[in-house]
Chains A and B, each alone.
Chain A
Amino acid sequence: MVSQSTQLAVTAEAVVKNFGETAVLRGLDLELPAGEVTVLLGTNGAGKSTLLRILAMLTQIDSGSISMYGADISQNGPAVRALTGSVLHAPMLYADMTIRENLMFFAEMYRLENFEDLIATTTAQVGIEPRLDHRVRTLSHGFQKRVSLARALMHDPQLLLLDEPESGLDSQSVARLDQIIDNYKSSGRTVVMTSHIVDHALEIADRAVVLNNGTVGLNSTNPSHDKDEIVAAYSSASVDQ
C-alpha cells in the first residue's frame, strides 16, 4: 500500500543487479527520506543510472527489495509509477508528433483530467510554451530535454527521478531546472538525481550519495559541508567488473 505520509521516499535493501556477468549493484542498501533532494554521484559504470532505472521500474532487480513510500515496488507497480516522474538519458518523445500531441498522449496514459490546463501550466514552468505546436523532431536536444521534463512533471509526481538533467541545457534552462527542484523541495516532495557536475549538484542537494563498486561508498546529509570528502570519495571510486 502506498502511503505518501511515510518518512521514507525510497528504501533499498540488499539490491543486486547484474547485466550478464557484469555486476552493477552489489547488495546496495539505501534510505532516502521524503522531502529531500538527493544527488547520486559516481564514476561511469558505478550504477547511478541503473539505480534510477530500477526506481523508475524500467529495470528489474535480481535480488533484494525496494519500497517507495512504504510500498514494495514489485507488488504495487502502477500505484508506485503514479508517484514518480522520470527524465532519463533519452527524451522518450515521439519525434513526429508535436509537443502538444506528445503531452496530450502522455496525459491520457496517466489518466489525467483537464489536461489542456495542465499542459499550459507545465509548459510555462519549463519554458516551452512558444513551440507547443512544433514537431519534436525539429527541436534541439536541450529543448527536447525540457519537453521530457514537462512530461515528467505533468502528473505532479511525489518523486522526481532525473538522470543528468542538466546535460544539453543552456545556463538559463539550468537555472529554471534549479528553480523547479527548489519548488519540489519546498513542497515536501522528493528529487533523486544523478550528475557529473559535482559542484553544482552539491549546491542544490540535501544529500549526496557516492556509489562505489555497486554499493554506497559515502552517504552525506550535509553535502556543502562535506564537499572535500565527497569529491575525494567520488575521485577514488572504482568500478570492479
Chain B
Amino acid sequence: MMGSLAVIWAIGRKDLLLEIRNKDVVVAVAGFALLVLVIFTFAIDLNQGNAKLVGPGVLWAGIAFAGVTGLNRAFALEVEGSTLEALMLAPISRDLIYLGKALGNFLFIAVAQIIVIPVFAVLFNLVVFRWEMLAISLLTTIGFSAVGTLFAAMSVRVRAREVMLPLLFLPVVTPLLMAAVESTGHMVNGRSWSDMAQWLQLAVAFDIAFIVVSAFIFQHILED
C-alpha cells in the first residue's frame, strides 16, 4: 500500500516539478479561465442580483473549458517525449500511472483555481472565501481530474485531440458541473450546508464512480 502511494506521489511530484520549470499547464488553465470571467463581466450587465444568479455558472464553465486546455497539454508532453512508454515499462500496475497522472492534473487545476477564484470574487463582487467553497472546489477538481485524465489519455494519440477531448470530457462532467454550479449558487446566496448537501453528495458519488471506473479502463487504452 505504502509502495503504491509512493509511486502515485512520485508521478504527481514529477509532473509538478516539470510544471514549475515549464509553466505550461497552470498558465494555460488560469489564463483561459480568467479570460472567460472577464469576457462575461463585459457581456453581462452585472448587479448584485444577477451576479449571484449567473456567477456560479460562469465560474465553473470557465474552469471546465480551461481545464480541457490544461489536460490536453499535460498528456501531450508525456507522448511527445515517449515518456508514457517509459512509465509503461516499469513493473507497476497501470492504475497507479493513472492515479499519479490524475494527481498531477488535480494539482494543476487546483493551483489555477487559487488564482481564478479570488479574481471571480472581485469581478462578481461575491463572498466566496468560505469552507463550503473549499469543499465544492475540491470535489469538482477531483472529478475533473479523474475524468479528464482518462479522456486525455484516450484522445492524446488522435490527430484531432484538441477537438476530441472536449467532445468526450464536457458531456460526461455535466452532472458534476451542475452540482458545482448549484452548490456554489446556494453558497453565494448564504444558504446552509444542508441546502447544498444533495449536490455535494452527487459530486462525491461522481468522483468515487469515475476514479474507480477510469482506473480500470485506463490500463486497456495504453497498449497499441
Q: Which of A63-78 contact B (CB under 8 A)?
A: 77-78
Q: Are A106 and B85 in contact (CB under 8 A)?
A: no
Q: Are A93 and B83 in contact (CB under 8 A)?
A: yes
Contacts of B14 in A (CB 8 A): 94, 97, 105
Q: Are A88 and B85 in contact (CB under 8 A)?
A: yes
Chain A 111-141 near chain B by CB (<8 Å), digits 1 or 0: 1000000000000000000000000000000
Q: A92-B82, A93-B83 are in contact. Are A81 and B224 (CB under 8 A)?
A: no
Q: Are B10 and A81 in contact (CB under 8 A)?
A: no
Q: Are B91 and A78 in contact (CB under 8 A)?
A: yes
Instruction: Tell me if B119 counts as interface (CB < 8 A to partner A).
Output: no
Interface-forming stretch among A33-41, A53-61, A166-174? A53-61
Instruction: Tell me if A232 counts as interface (CB < 8 A to partner B).
Output: no
Q: A53-B224, A60-B224, A78-B93 are in contact. Are A97 and B86 (CB under 8 A)?
A: no
Minimum C-beta distance from B82 to chain A (A): 4
Q: Are A111 and B7 in contact (CB under 8 A)?
A: yes
Interface-forming stretch among B16-24, B68-76, B133-141? B16-24
Q: Are A92 and B223 in contact (CB under 8 A)?
A: no
Contacts of A151 in B (CB 8 A): 86
Task: Please report the C-alpha to C-alpha distance between residue A90 and residue B83 in the assembled complex, in whole angstroms.
Answer: 9
Instruction: Tell me if A79 counts as interface (CB < 8 A to partner B).
Output: yes
Q: A90-B85, A108-B10, A109-B92 are in contact. Are A60 and B18 (CB under 8 A)?
A: no
Q: Which of B73-104 contact A (CB under 8 A)?
A: 81-83, 85-93
The 7 A-B pairs with the shortest beta carbon distances in the complex, nearest first, are A90-B82, A82-B91, A92-B86, A109-B90, A108-B10, A81-B91, A59-B224
Q: Which of B123-182 contact A (CB under 8 A)?
A: none
Q: Which residue of B lies closest to A104 (CB)?
A: B10
Q: Are A110 and B90 in contact (CB under 8 A)?
A: yes
Given contacts A58-B88, A97-B17, 12 further A-B pairs with CB under 8 A are A57-B89, A77-B91, A82-B91, A92-B81, A93-B86, A94-B81, A95-B81, A109-B10, A109-B92, A110-B91, A111-B6, A111-B91
Task: Please report the C-alpha to C-alpha distance between residue A86 and residue B87 in the assembled complex, in whole angstroms.
Answer: 12
Contacts of A101 in B (CB 8 A): 17
Q: Which residue of B lies closest to A17 (CB)?
A: B224
Instruction: Tell me if B3 counts as interface (CB < 8 A to partner A).
Output: yes
- In the complex, which of the residues A56, A82, A96 contacts B18, with contact meaning CB atoms closer than 8 Å? A96
Contacts of B92 in A (CB 8 A): 78, 109, 111
Contacts of A90 in B (CB 8 A): 81-82, 85
Chain B 186-201 near chain A by CB (<8 Å), digits 1 or 0: 0000000000000000
Q: A92-B81, A94-B81, A96-B22 are in contact. Are A105 and B91 (CB under 8 A)?
A: no
Most chain B Cβ neighbours within 10 Å, of A79, A94, A95, A101: A94
Minimum C-beta distance from B80 to chain A (A): 9
Q: A78-B93, A97-B18 are in contact. Are A58 and B85 (CB under 8 A)?
A: yes
Q: Are A58 and B223 in contact (CB under 8 A)?
A: yes
Q: A94-B14, A94-B83, A96-B22 are in contact. Are A56 and B91 (CB under 8 A)?
A: no
Minimum C-beta distance from A103 to chain B (A): 11
Q: Are B89 and A58 in contact (CB under 8 A)?
A: yes
Minimum C-beta distance from B42 to chain A (A): 37
Contacts of B223 in A (CB 8 A): 57-60
Minimum C-beta distance from B216 to chain A (A): 15
Minimum C-beta distance from A109 to chain B (A): 4
Contacts of B17 in A (CB 8 A): 97, 101
Q: Which residue of B lies closest to A161 (CB)?
A: B89
Task: Please report the C-alpha to C-alpha distance between residue A79 and residue B92 in the assembled complex, in whole angstroms.
Answer: 9
Contacts of B82 in A (CB 8 A): 88, 90-92
Task: Please report the C-alpha to C-alpha distance between residue A91 and residue B80 in the assembled complex, in whole angstroms.
Answer: 11
11 pairs, A vs B, C-beta closer than 8 Å: A57-B89, A57-B223, A58-B89, A58-B223, A58-B224, A59-B223, A78-B93, A93-B86, A106-B86, A108-B6, A108-B10
